[in-house]
Amino acid sequence: MNSETENLVLEHLCAIRADVGTLRDDMPDLRQRVSSMERHPWRPLGAYRTEA
């Protein structure tokens, strides 16, 4: 593998890592919202929205 290919691979890996970090940051909020919906299935969907 030449250095140009290695740099391209590293750039993609860095982008993937950043995206995974964003998903990891969003998970607690999503878990909380799904848990709320499971505990209170009779509420209208708008009641589950949280301000970010």
Q: In this predicted model, what pLDDT tens digit does every residue of 4-51 receive, in sequence order?
A: 989 999 999 999 999 999 999 999 999 998 898 888 877 776 666 666
Q: What is the pLDDT of residue 37?
A: 82
3-state secondary structure the chain: CCHHHHHHHHHHHHHHHHHHHHHHHHHHHHHHHHHHHHHCCCCCHHHHCCCC
Q: Which residues contact 50 (CB under 8 A, 6 or more apart)?
A: 29, 32, 33
Q: What is the pLDDT of residue 12?
A: 96
Q: What is the pLDDT of residue 51?
A: 62
Tell me, yes or no, if the pTM score tops 0.85: no
Report the alpha-carbon distance of residue 12 to residue 20 in Å, rounded: 12
16: amino acid identity, one letter: I
Residue 15 or 2, more confident = 15
